[in-house]
């Protein structure tokens, strides 16, 4: 066996690599915690985990600038955390506690933290693509330099809103980045069995005059570099990008899904040979980063998530009087005098 | 009689109709191999195969549009829209297309199809997966609207919907899927447009629908036990056509009307019933007609909040007591 050579720092410097790892690891631990809390019956309603898809959230968020906007789906914990939202706020919302990002009013599918640029998580497939287009329109219109990124799944490419949003964004050259997380499944159905083309997003790019971009979504470096390019292009006024990230969802579609539809061995294969966290940890070592530095990151993340879990568990449920707040802009719900 | 769950009754009705009519076919997202996200269509794919039970892409407009095109040209399709909230993304087909084609063509076109959909709250799914939208559907001329509360009614009314020659929106309540009940065995078809008196009484009438029916019955039982107030409960079962005969008979007898509605208050189905009662039976009323509804708010996710938003047994009980005292 050839001895491994230590790689030299490249365009992604050591500091950034550690950030990319930190974000991925935080998502991994927080999502696993969400799952454990679900088993403890503390997560109410539903929840959709991004286990196995951490590199995409990390790569994009770490390439964003502070005023950039993220639009997420119900599978949005990862993107919300990646933008720096509080872990207590995220876990608290999953547990529908008063400390949750939206005080339990939205629930796990609608995580929102506008202070971090997370413009919401949406549970009607396709809806948030045109919204991201609108955010990009506002940026262009008012001369702001932020870019909107919209994350969605492979299955979402089959709804009309996907196609309308792409055409619209291209026509007006809007600063929006469309990120398809192709995790192979639309709920319990394999994407290839219900889609006309093999690469559900990239193969449609040409229909809208866009470059067909397919990347390894389990490689945070590749995601990060691709994101940087897309943001540069958008900020230069050269319009939208559509990026298809190949990945794999290691958890069930939602909380109760045992994944009976997966071919035997498929999940194990991805976990063993193509896990983004394992791969990135190996990458760090290849770049000569010391094991103790990696351990420190991991220990800090675990502490953070442990503390957040305790805080969320100790938080009360939301008070009843918020049932009728914030229906209208005056803070209330009155519809008659 | 067999003991079936509400969800098993769905599959039983579809199987019954598919067996007798080859033009009945069923499409939707994850409905075939996975048996539906609510497991309401388990077994149909194994029984009838991929020609008749079809997993579709996430393309609600195509699902309803295709169902409509097939219905116009000789089939009796059943289309599933997983959560009723998602009907909003394909509402064109409900509001502008399937409901109007017969009229616009002066009877040349027909649209015998069923849209099945999971409706209602109680699952802590939040504002986009919990709505009761039966009143949206009721507002559109040209479609029929069904919302059963028991497994037997699911089987009988779904079969009737499939055989009906108009488009039917069939609301299944997500919080009732696990409920068990007696269901007639063998071929069983009920009649659309018929309400049912599910509890007889003389002091007041409650009109309820879907999940609100068992809650209304429980509240009525409690009012009887604790205060000797004798409430009649009418399960509406279908909103269109509306069985005003059954409603009028009950209200004329008791002189008091309450509606228990899960839809948010404004333009909820009860408003229409109250207005008809006030119009046609005013002199039979002994007091105000009162609507008990979800407040006019989006639904919250948190369980403690959702539980106070949707009418509960206690809220129904307390309100009726307050009004009748
Ligand atoms: C309009 C609409 N149709 C259907 C659904 C139900 N649904 C929720 S998630 C999902 C699958 C989405 O698959 P994909 O886009 O690949 O995203 P993933 O869940 O894999 O992240 C479906 C069909 C929905 N939420 N909205
Ligand atoms: Mg997917």
pLDDT for the residue numbered A4: 63
Probe target for ligand 1 pocket from A153, A184, A217, with the most ligand atoms within 8 Å of CB:
A153
Distance CA A77, CA A67 (A): 19
pLDDT for the residue numbered A33: 98
Contact A124 B128 (CB under 8 A): yes
Task: Please state the rounded mean pLDDT for residues A138-160.
Answer: 98
Residue A331 forms part of a structural domain: no
Task: Write out the two tokens for A189.
Answer: 């159905």
Report CA dihedral (A110, A113, A118, A124) to the nearest 10 degrees. Answer: 10
Please list every residue in chain A whose beta carbon sits closer than 8 Å to the beta carbon of residue B309. Answer: 323
In this predicted structure, the answer to whether residue A252 has a pLDDT above a threshold of 80 is yes
- Angstroms from B256 CA to nearest CA on chain A: 25
Residue A5 forms part of a structural domain: no
Contact A187 B296 (CB under 8 A): no
Q: Domain of residue A52: give its range.
A: 11-311
Contact B305 A189 (CB under 8 A): no
Task: Please state the rounded mean pLDDT for residues A251-256.
Answer: 90
Please report the domains of chain B, with CATH numbers, ordered by start residue: 2-183 (3.40.50.970), 196-324 (3.40.50.920)
Q: How far is CA A27 from CA A50, A90, B136, B158, in A?
A: 8, 11, 40, 45
Task: Write out the two tokens for A285.
Answer: 């070592």
Task: Write out the two tokens for A23.
Answer: 């974000």
- To the nearest whole percent, how much of chain B has pLDDT over 70? 100
In this predicted structure, the answer to whether residue A184 has a pLDDT above a threshold of 60 is yes
pLDDT for the residue numbered A256: 78
**Is A41 an interface residue toward B (CB < 8 Å)?**
no
Tell me the pLDDT tens digit for each residue of B38-51. Answer: 999 999 999 999 99
Domain count, chain A: 1
CA torsion through residues B130, B133, B134, B137, sign: negative
pLDDT for the residue numbered A6: 82
Tell me the pLDDT tens digit for each residue of B162-193. Answer: 999 999 999 999 999 999 999 999 999 999 99
Task: Please state the rounded mean pLDDT for residues A272-296.
Answer: 97
In this predicted structure, the answer to whether residue B7 has a pLDDT above a threshold of 80 is yes
- To the nearest whole percent, how much of chain A has pLDDT over 90? 95
**Residue list, ligand 1 pocket, CB within 6 Å:** A 75, 123-125, 152-156, 183, 185-187, 249, 253; B 29, 58, 60, 82, 86, 89
Task: Write out the two tokens for A327.
Answer: 């229906």
In this predicted structure, the answer to whether residue A2 has a pLDDT above a threshold of 80 is no
Q: Which of A90, A92, A120, A124 to mutate to test the interface with B (most CBs of B within 10 A)?
A: A124
Three-state SS sequence of chain A = CCCCCCCCCCCCCHHHHHHHHHHHHHHHHHHHHHHHHHHCCCCCCCCCCCCCCHHHHHHHHHHCCCCCEEEEECCCHHHHHHCCCCHHHHHHHHCCCCCCCCCCCCCHHHCCEHHHCEEEEECCCCCHHHHHHHHHHHHHHHCCCCCEEEEEEHHHHHCHHHHHHHHHHHHCCCCEEEEEEECCEECCEEHHHHCCCCCCCHHHHHHHCCCCEEEECCCHHHHHHHHHHHHHHHHCCCCCEEEEEECCCCCCCCCCCCCCCCCCCHHHHHHHHCCHHHHHHHHHHHCCCCHHHHHHHHHHHHHHHHHHHHHHHHCCCCCHHHHHCCCCCCCCCCCCC
Residue A329 forms part of a structural domain: no
Task: Please state the rounded mean pLDDT for residues A166-176.
Answer: 98
Residue A240 forms part of a structural domain: yes
- Range in A14-18, A253-257, B229-233 with the lowest mean pLDDT: A253-257
Tell me the pLDDT tens digit for each residue of A105-130. Answer: 999 999 999 999 999 999 999 999 99
Q: How far is CA B96 from CA A132, B100, B110, B143, in A?
A: 28, 6, 14, 11
Of the pLDDT bands very low, low, confident and very high (cuts 50, 70, 90), residue B255 is very high
- To the nearest whole percent, how much of chain B has pLDDT over 90? 99
Residue A321 forms part of a structural domain: no
Interface of B with A in 7-36 (CB under 8 A): 29-30, 33-34
Task: Write out the two tokens for A141.
Answer: 């219109």
CATH code (residue A256): 3.40.50.970
Residue A107 forms part of a structural domain: yes
Tell me the pLDDT tens digit for each residue of B132-162. Answer: 999 999 999 999 999 999 999 999 999 999 9
pLDDT for the residue numbered B44: 98
Tell me the pLDDT tens digit for each residue of B263-313. Answer: 999 999 999 999 999 999 999 999 999 999 999 999 999 999 999 999 999
pLDDT for the residue numbered A3: 53
B163 contact partners, CB below 8 Å, separation of at least 6? B17, B76, B189
CB B28 within 8 A of CB B82: yes
Of the pLDDT bands very low, low, confident and very high (cuts 50, 70, 90), residue A1 is very low
Tell me the pLDDT tens digit for each residue of A312-328. Answer: 999 999 999 999 999 99
The ipTM, to two decimals, is 0.93
Distance CA A330, CA A42 (A): 33
Residue A304 forms part of a structural domain: yes
Of the pLDDT bands very low, low, confident and very high (cuts 50, 70, 90), residue A7 is confident
Residue nearest to atom 9 of ligand 1 (CA): A187
Residue A287, number of CB atoms within 10 A of its CB: 16
pLDDT for the residue numbered A229: 98
As annotated, the active-site residues of B are 129
Strand-pair partners of B97: none
- Angstroms from A337 CA to nearest CA on chain B: 14
- Angstroms from A140 CA to nearest CA on chain B: 28
Distance CA A197, CA A213 (A): 15
Task: Please state the rounded mean pLDDT for residues B117-135.
Answer: 98
Tell me the pLDDT tens digit for each residue of B61-115. Answer: 999 999 999 999 999 999 999 999 999 999 999 999 999 999 999 999 999 999 9
Tell me the pLDDT tens digit for each residue of A62-104. Answer: 999 999 999 999 999 999 999 999 999 999 999 999 999 999 9
pLDDT for the residue numbered A9: 82
pLDDT for the residue numbered A39: 94
Residue A283 forms part of a structural domain: yes
């Amino acid at each position: 066996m050839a001895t491994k050579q230590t790689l030299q720092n490249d365009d992604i410097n050591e500091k950034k690599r550690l950030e990319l790892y930190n974000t991925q690891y935080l998502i991994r631990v927080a999502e696993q915690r969400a799952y454990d809390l679900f088993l403890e019956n503390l997560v109410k309603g539903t929840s959709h985990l991004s286990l196995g898809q951490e590199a995409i959230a990390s790569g994009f968020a770490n390439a964003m600038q502070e005023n950039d906007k993220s639009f997420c789906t119900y599978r949005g914990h990862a993107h919300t955390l990646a933008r720096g939202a509080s872990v207590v706020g995220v876990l608290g919302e999953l547990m529908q506690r008063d400390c949750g990002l939206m005080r339990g009013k939205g629930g796990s599918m609608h995580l929102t933290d506008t202070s971090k640029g997370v413009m919401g998580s949406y549970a009607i497939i396709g809806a948030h693509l045109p919204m991201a287009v609108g955010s990009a329109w506002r940026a262009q219109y008012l001369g702001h330099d932020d870019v909107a990124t919209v994350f969605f799944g492979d299955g979402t490419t089959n709804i009309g809103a996907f196609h309308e949003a792409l055409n619209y964004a291209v026509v007006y050259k809007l600063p929006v980045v469309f990120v398809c997380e192709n995790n192979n499944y639309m709920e319990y159905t394999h994407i290839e069995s219900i889609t006309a083309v093999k690469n559900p997003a990239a193969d449609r790019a040409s229909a809208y005059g866009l470059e067909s971009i397919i990347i390894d979504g389990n490689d945070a470096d590749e995601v990060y570099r691709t994101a940087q390019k897309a943001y540069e292009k958008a900020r230069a006024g050269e319009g939208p990008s559509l990026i298809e990230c190949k990945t794999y969802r290691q958890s069930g579609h939602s909380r109760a899904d045992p994944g009976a539809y997966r071919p035997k061995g498929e999940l194990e294969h991805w976990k063993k040979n193509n896990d983004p966290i394992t791969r990135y940890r190996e990458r760090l070592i290849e770049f000569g980063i010391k094991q103790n530095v990696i351990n420190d990151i991991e220990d800090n993340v675990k502490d953070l998530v442990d503390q957040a879990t305790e805080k969320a568990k100790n938080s009360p449920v939301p008070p009843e009087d918020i049932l009728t707040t914030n229906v209208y802009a005056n803070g209330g719900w009155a519809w008659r005098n | 009689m067999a003991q079936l769950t509400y969800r098993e009754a769905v599959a039983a009705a579809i199987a019954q109709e598919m067996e007798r009519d080859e033009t009945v076919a069923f499409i939707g997202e994850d409905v075939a191999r996975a048996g539906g996200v609510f497991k309401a269509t388990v077994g149909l794919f194994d029984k009838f195969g991929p020609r008749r039970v079809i997993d579709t892409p996430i393309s609600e407009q195509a699902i309803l549009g295709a169902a409509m095109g097939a219905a116009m040209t000789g089939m009796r399709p059943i289309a599933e829209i997983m959560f009723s909230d998602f009907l909003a993304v394909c509402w064109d087909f409900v509001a502008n297309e399937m409901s109007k084609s017969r009229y616009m063509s002066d009877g040349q076109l027909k649209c015998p199809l069923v849209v099945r959909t999971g409706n209602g709250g109680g699952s802590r799914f939040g504002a986009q997966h919990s709505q009761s939208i039966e009143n949206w559907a009721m507002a559109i001329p040209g479609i029929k609207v069904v919302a059963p509360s028991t497994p037997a009614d699911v089987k009988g009314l779904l079969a009737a919907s499939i055989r009906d020659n108009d488009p039917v929106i069939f609301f299944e309540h997500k919080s009732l899927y696990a409920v068990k009940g007696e269901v007639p065995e063998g071929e069983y078809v009920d009649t659309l447009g018929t309400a049912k008196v599910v509890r007889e009484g003389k002091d007041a009438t409650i009109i309820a629908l879907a999940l609100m029916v068992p809650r209304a019955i429980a509240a009525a039982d409690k009012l009887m036990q604790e205060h000797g107030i004798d409430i009649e409960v009418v399960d509406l079962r279908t909103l269109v056509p509306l069985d005003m005969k059954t409603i009028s008979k009950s209200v004329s007898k008791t002189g008091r009307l309450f509606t228990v509605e899960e839809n948010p208050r404004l333009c909820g189905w009860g408003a229409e019933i109250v207005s008809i009662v006030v119009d046609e039976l005013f002199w039979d009323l002994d007091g105000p007609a009162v609507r008990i509804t979800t407040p006019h708010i989006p639904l919250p996710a948190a369980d403690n909040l959702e539980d106070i938003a949707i009418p509960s047994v206690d809220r129904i009980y307390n309100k009726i007591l307050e009004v009748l005292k």
